Chain A
């Protein structure tokens, strides 16, 4: 069973701390809305080594003129790819 987690609030919310403890190998994590401010602060190595796929919604990142940090270009997804991610995971858990 894989799960896609979405984070929709900025790092000031501390949501990633709560979410991270529950992430399992094979899960996905996508930053949307104000969650995109996590990208330039994110230490990816830990999540990747745990087998988590990390994504960011490109439109929200562009609108806010924030940085993608150490995320590769392939991690920036458009709305259509976001929907695909929701469908390819067994369930979606929203953090907001």
Chain B
């Protein structure tokens, strides 16, 4: 086990503050040079959809925030395959590049991580 922080983001982008909170936690951790795994699970996969126009509902773009992760040294963005397929989505619908992972893969990430934040 190393000091990696795994953040599991399970909420759709604009219906609650949860998606934004997960992103802020990840960026804060990355600024302090912590290793971060960012996992989109359940409704969290909706954060990755291409073509979002949140200005229509006076919100700030969540997918744009995810795209700056690389600049902060967060290269490990994962998406749960099962969550995508149960929502009729595939990688071609996504604006943000994320590594596909199955449930066993996510379980392994959790096991390897010192801290897991899930919201």
Contact = CB atoms under 8 A, between A and B. Distances in A.
A65 B49 contact: yes
B51 A33 contact: no
A70 to B, nearest CB: 12
B73 interface: no
Interface stretch (B10-18, B31-39, B104-112): B10-18
Interface stretch (A21-29, A34-42, A46-54, A83-91): A34-42
B87 A65 contact: no
Interface string B24-62: 000000000000000000110010011111111101000
A65 B51 contact: yes
A8 interface: yes
B88 interface: yes
A41 B56 contact: no
A62 interface: yes
Contacts of A63: 14, 52-57, 59
A41 B89 CA distance: 11
Contact of B57 (A12, A37, A59, A65): A59
Given A37-B46, A65-B51, A8 B15 contact: yes
A10 B16 CA distance: 11
10 contacts: A10-B12, A37-B87, A59-B56, A59-B57, A60-B14, A63-B53, A63-B59, A64-B14, A64-B46, A65-B49
A9 interface: yes
B49 A66 contact: yes
Contact of A64 (B16, B52, B88): B52
B14 A9 contact: no
B92 to A, nearest CB: 13
Contact of B43 (A12, A41, A59, A65): A12
A65 B52 contact: yes
Given A12-B42, A65-B50, 6 more contacts: A9-B15, A12-B43, A63-B53, A63-B54, A63-B59, A64-B46
